[in-house]
Amino acid sequence: MSDVTETIPQDSPEQGRKKSDGKIRAADGTSLKRSLNRALRRQKLRALILIAPLLIFVLVTFIAPIADMLFRSVENQIVAQTLPRTTDALADWEAASGQAPGAPVYKALYEDIFIAQERKLHTRLGSRLNYELTGASSLFRKSGRGVGDMGEVYQDQFEDFDDFWKMGENWNAFLGSDEWLAEIQAWDKASGDDQPAFEMRDGMEELFPQTAAKYEIFADFVQYEDEDNLYKEDPWALIYSSFYDDLTGPTATQIAAYDGPAAAQIKAATAAAADFETVDYAAAFADVDKDWAETPIWETIQTYSGPFTNGYFLNAVDMQKSPDGAELRPENQRVYGTLFLRTLFMSLMITGSCILLGYPVAWLLANLPARTANLLMILVLLPFWTSLLVRTSAWKVMLQQQGVINDTLVWLGIVDNFNRLALINNQTGTIIAMTHILLPFMILPLYSVMATIPPAFLRAAKSLGATNWTAFWRVYFPQSVPGIGAGSILVFILSIGYYITPEIVGGTTGTFISNRIAYHISSSLNWGLAAALGAILLAVVLALYWAYDKIVGIDNVKLGG
């Protein structure tokens, strides 16, 4: 014994050695912390490998989709992507003026919608804007058909003037670079090679800026979206109107000096174009739908032209954007505030009734001999082994007006036959069915906490002079509060996002916010709003959790032990 004590250095009470820097060091002089980390690294790596499959699974199938979904609640790129020119042109427009925007905006709108309808994107934009302005959907559908007519005015005039402009080859020969022309003529679709990508002839972008820009888009669309041979493809009507714009536009003088391919035809066309019939896009759009001459659609486009929007969130809290900022919707359009409040209120009711019904059962379970308690526990768990849908449907049978409960009450004479209780398709039904379904989630944590409270506490309280009630209320109950807390959090959070049961037994007045979210996901397809509602629900739950932690303390939540 004495030998061992002597080997420990006198100046070091710790088991390691202290160097001058004050750090405790391991026997070989490395920092103790580092050698501990090294020793633990293998363990940590092992732990990581063990959880890796689940972690990856959760990340890929759960976290990522949720993040993506939540992102949709603010994402709004569709307007700016579909109507890039229009939103640019509209930037300076003052909605407050009460005037429809000027001609350049309509021309930009024509170009945007033309491209969008070729790509079949205009109806999607219409659906998107329809969330904000009713009627936008049909407006865009109509306009998609209308823009074809507008462009054809120029196309027809060019083609009538000279057959040269009818042919796609001619346009390609005019705008395409020589190398590309050689390649595309040599290309054989059957060979399986990729179609040579369109290349603009040098100088065209300066001379014919509008035509060149549109033709790029056209070429891109034909080659990659339609996968047709661009060389044989006749251009869109949009190309003709842009061509007209270039011929009569600011580059007209340079065009006069042009001497490349098709120079002769261009010269002739320039001369003829002076007499062409022109299109008043503003009038043409007003002709398609008079809404284009009014301000609301322009206001909506302008408001939602940014890549991100708080519109879905405003919508989710019954507000809307207006020129003066956000404002509450008219009373008859408010839906979600009531739904949120109803969801919270009913979840609280369900949690409360679960406590009332579950507490005595849990107490009994915790205080019965093990054999009987196990049997009872199986009864508590039995519902878990039955499908949720079956249980909920069973409640439908039980609760309806001609159902088991009403029949029994009428038979007992408690309820008049012509005055049967409305127990389903309302809040009562939802509360009854969900209390039943969520009850085990209350009983289990309560039981596991109560099982750890020694019976000696109650005896001690009684021996100190407390009546049964005082002993329970002052001694037993406070110790079971962590179980109530855990059960309440479980039941409340489960019920606040519940969907199936309120959908089946809730009717119209007993549905939750989740039913509305499901509606927007699967029926109205307004995923942005669904995401905003979901995000708010998540925030509410987190806020309640935070509040609970502040008031009760999350350490006071026990699921057992």
Gap between the Cα atoms of 499 and 515, Å rounded = 6
Binding of residue 456 to another protein (CB under 8 A): yes
Instruction: Say whether residue 470 binds another protein (CB under 8 A).
Output: yes
- Of the candidate residues 461, 484, 491, 517, the single one contacting another protein (CB under 8 A): 461
Cα dihedral sign, 318-321-326-330: negative
Binding region for another protein (CB under 8 A) out of 72-80, 157-165, 290-298, 461-469? 461-469
Query: Of the two residues 330 and 465, which places its CB atom closer to another protein in the complex?
Result: 465
Q: Does residue 200 contact residue 216 with C-beta atoms inside 8 Å?
A: yes
Torsion of CA 101, 103, 108, 111, to 10 degrees: 130
What are residue 326's DSSP bridge partners?
321
Determine the length of the chain.
Answer: 561
* Shortest Cβ 457–another protein spacing (Å): 5
Q: Quick check: 459 binds another protein (CB under 8 A)? A: yes
CB-CB neighbours of 442 under 10 Å? 28
Residue with tokens 């976290």: 63
Query: Distance between CA 4 and CA 240 in Å, rounded?
Result: 101
Instruction: Name the one range near another protein by CB under 8 A: 205-213, 366-374, 466-474, 493-501.
Output: 466-474
Q: Which helix (H) or strand (E) holds 7?
A: helix 2-7
**Which of these ranges, 113-121, 196-204, 383-391, 457-465, lies near another protein under the rule CB under 8 A?**
457-465
Q: In which residue are the tokens 């066309």 written?
A: 269
Cβ closer to another protein: 217 or 552?
552
Count CB neighbours of 43 within 10 A.
Answer: 9
Min CB(546)–another protein separation in Å: 24
Nearer to another protein, 365 or 475 (CB): 475
Each residue 70-99 as x (binds another protein by CB under 8 A) or -, in order, gives: ------------------------------
Q: For the chain, what is the total number of helices (H) and then of strands (E)? A: 29, 4
Could you say which of 478, 508, 550, 561 contacts another protein (CB under 8 A)? 478
Which helix (H) or strand (E) is 93 found in, with range?
A: none
Is 465 a binding residue for another protein by CB under 8 A? The answer is: yes
Measured CA to CA, the distance from residue 322 to residue 361 in angstroms comes to 55
Q: Binding to another protein by residue 551, rule CB under 8 A?
A: no
Q: Which of 262, 462, 544, 552 is the binder for another protein (CB under 8 A)?
A: 462
Q: Is 474 in the site for another protein (CB under 8 A)?
A: yes
Segment lying near another protein (by CB under 8 A), choices 18-26, 147-155, 183-191, 454-462 = 454-462
Judged by CB under 8 A, the chain residues 38 through 57 that form the site for another protein are none
Backbone angles phi, psi at 18, to 5 degrees: -90, 125
Number of residues interacting with another protein: please give it, by CB under 8 A. 19
Using CB under 8 A, pick the residue from 475, 491, 533, 557 that binds another protein.
Answer: 475
Between 279 and 475, CB nearer to another protein: 475
Q: Give the nearest distance from C-beta 539 to another protein in angstroms.
A: 33
Name the residue with tokens 């969008």: 116
Per rule CB under 8 A, is residue 460 in the interface with another protein?
yes
Q: Please say whether the dihedral angle defined by the alpha carbons of residues 110, 112, 118 and 124, taken in this order, is positive or negative.
A: negative
Instruction: State which of positions 412-451 bind another protein (CB under 8 A).
Output: none
Least Å distance between CB 369 and another protein?
12
Q: Of 30 and 467, which has the nearer Cβ to another protein?
A: 467
**What is the residue whose two structure tokens read 């100046």?**
11
- Transcribe 399-455 into DSSP letters: HSTTSHHHHHHHHHTSS-GGG----SSSHHHHHHHHHHHHHHHHHHHHHHHHTTS-T
Q: Amino acid identity of 351?
A: T
Task: Confirm or reject binding of residue 463 to another protein (CB under 8 A).
Answer: yes
Q: Which of 378, 464, 538, 539 binds another protein (CB under 8 A)?
A: 464
**Positions in the binding site for another protein (CB under 8 A):** 454, 456-457, 459-468, 470-471, 474-475, 478-479
